[in-house]
Amino acid sequence: MTSAPALTDQTHYAGEFSGIFPMQLSGERLSGDKAMEGSYGIDFILLPLKQSNPRRMTGEILKKPLLRVSLFVLLSIPLRLMLDLSFGMIYRFYEVIRPWQEYLGAALLTVAIPELVFLLKHRINRHIPWEKSPTRRLALECLIIGFTGLVAIVSLRIIVNLLLLKPAFIKFSDEAFTAIYYLFFLVLLPAFLEFAVFLLNRWRIGLAEVERFRKENAEFRFEALRAQINPHFLFNSLNTLSSLIYEDREKAAHFIRHLSDVYRYVLENRNRETITLGEELTFIKAFVYLYQLRFDNKLIISLKIEDALMHRLIAPMTLQLLIENAVKHNIVSAKRPLNIDIFAENNLYLNVRNNLQKKQADEASTAMGLKNIVSRYGFLTPHPVEINESDTEFIVKVPLI
């Protein structure tokens, strides 16, 4: 999710739905992992409008008085036509095409009422912003702006009828219907649209927050898993080294160099989300060397990966975790050696396969390590990690990124 553009606490005109409703928009740019907060009008802050941004263009147009008035005047034409069609269905001899004075009166009404609504919204936003109490804000806006708008509409209708027109209707119900008609389209409908889009924005921000927390939780568990594995690995490596120092000093020196390579890799890449397969394999060869010195011929690890795949990406230490998992849950002995094969499949997956020979006294596994790998890759690629187990083998398919 890209961050929203920086916004100052000022009033803007927003009109994603029709280009004519005056709305209040305020917010702020937040850096890092902080979620976006603020009061948003009818703009869709989170929509990925990369190629074109109609919200920005509409906002620029509505900030210019001449263009804004022109848009409201154009709006007055369809509003007036819809009203005349309604009366045409009520009165048999009503002429749908009205004199130009009536369209002028409708234009004055359509320009004046939104400007009044905008000023009232600006004042209400100072006391009760949308994010403070959405339902209270909606109710207050409908009451204050609705009542004020109704009075303004009736007053303007009386003035227009006296100055420009002859009375078009003699029934009070006609004027009441006209006032309610303009009140709905110019006051109430924009308020409910603003409220609906505010809730939609909140929902979208809530989804983004949940996704961020899920990702942070997965990263935390992944880091905790690596921190848990590394001390065990270091403890076993030091035990192996203590034996080699007395038996074969040359092997002990090689062991120390490879051990330093392993921990250099861990320290340099612990904060990276992905790493090239070539870098991971360079590390895993040093890691495998340490394991093979520890288990001798009891552990057989083979790597069969084409050079053309070395630029592909995986999560750091994925192979180490899978090898550790295989060694932890399977018998490794001279009579029953553990075979681990690492190979690519269709240039899409990196497979780690081992023959299945579970330890008899092995406690029930929670598979937390595999779950963390699955969760980790869920944020890196749409292709899932596949885990398959049969009577004779266990295989994990890691997608190449």
Q: 257 and 172: one domain?
A: no
**Residue 347, CA atoms < 13 Å, CB-side half-sphere:** 6
CA 364 from chain centre, in angstroms, equals 37
Q: What is the pLDDT of residue 388?
A: 92
Q: Which of 182, 210, 238 is the endpoint of a domain?
A: 210
Q: What is the pLDDT of residue 232?
A: 66
CB 385 within 8 Å of CB 377: yes
CB 17 within 8 Å of CB 184: no
Give the CATH number of the domain where residue 367 resides: 3.30.565
Q: 363 and 256: one domain?
A: yes
Q: For residue 29, tell me if it sits in a domain.
A: no
Q: 72 and 197: one domain?
A: yes
Q: 68 and 190: one domain?
A: yes
Q: Is the pLDDT of residue 36 over 60?
A: no
Q: How far is CA 268 from CA 262, 265, 317, in A?
A: 10, 5, 12
Mean pLDDT over each residue of the chain, to the nearest integer: 72
pLDDT in tens, 309-365: 999 999 888 888 898 888 888 888 888 899 999 999 888 899 999 999 888 765 555
Q: What is the pLDDT of residue 363?
A: 54
Q: For residue 343, tell me if it sits in a domain.
A: yes
Q: For residue 281, tell me if it sits in a domain.
A: yes
Q: Is the pLDDT of residue 85 over 80?
A: no
Both tokens assigned to 143? 């009451």
CB 332 within 8 Å of CB 299: yes
Q: For residue 6, tell me if it sits in a domain.
A: no
Crossing angle of helices 172-183/100-127, nearest 10°? 50
- Better-scored residue on pLDDT, 238 or 88: 238
Q: 154 and 296: one domain?
A: no
Q: 289 and 177: one domain?
A: no
Q: 170 and 266: one domain?
A: no
Query: 222 falls in which pLDDT band (50, 70, 90)?
Result: low
Query: Can you give the pTM of this predicted structure?
Result: 0.48
Q: 178 and 256: one domain?
A: no
Q: 152 and 265: one domain?
A: no
Query: Given phi > 0 = left and psi -120 to 50 = alpha, else beta, which region is 296?
Result: left
Q: How far is CA 271 from CA 12, 224, 299, 350, 371, in A?
A: 41, 13, 30, 22, 20
Q: 175 and 323: one domain?
A: no
Q: What is the pLDDT of residue 342?
A: 93
Give the residue-averaged pLDDT of 359-373. Answer: 68
Give percent of the chain above pLDDT 90.
8
Q: Which of 181, 210, 239 is the endpoint of a domain?
A: 210
Q: What residue numbers bound the domain in which 354 lies?
A: 248-399
Query: 95 falls in which pLDDT band (50, 70, 90)?
Result: low
Q: 184 and 260: one domain?
A: no
Q: How far is CA 167 from CA 8, 48, 162, 222, in A?
A: 47, 51, 8, 77
Q: For residue 28, tell me if it sits in a domain.
A: no
Of the listed ranges 22-31, 89-98, 174-183, the least confidently predicted one is 22-31
Q: Is the pLDDT of residue 33 over 50?
A: no
CB 113 within 8 Å of CB 153: yes
Give the residue-averaged pLDDT of 172-201. Answer: 77
Q: For residue 363, tell me if it sits in a domain.
A: yes
Which residues are CB-contacts of 97 (< 8 A; sequence separation ≥ 6)?
A: 84
User: Quick one: DSSP state of residue 308?
Assistant: G
Q: Is the pLDDT of residue 228 over 90?
A: no
User: How far is 351 from 313, CA to CA, in rounded Å?
Assistant: 14
Q: What is the pLDDT of residue 32?
A: 39
Q: For residue 32, tell me if it sits in a domain.
A: no
Q: Which of 191, 210, 229 is the endpoint of a domain?
A: 210
Number of domains in the chain: 2
Q: 105 and 171: one domain?
A: yes
Q: For residue 58, tell me if it sits in a domain.
A: yes
Closest C-alpha to 113, from 161, 64, 150: 150
Q: Is the pLDDT of residue 141 over 70?
A: yes
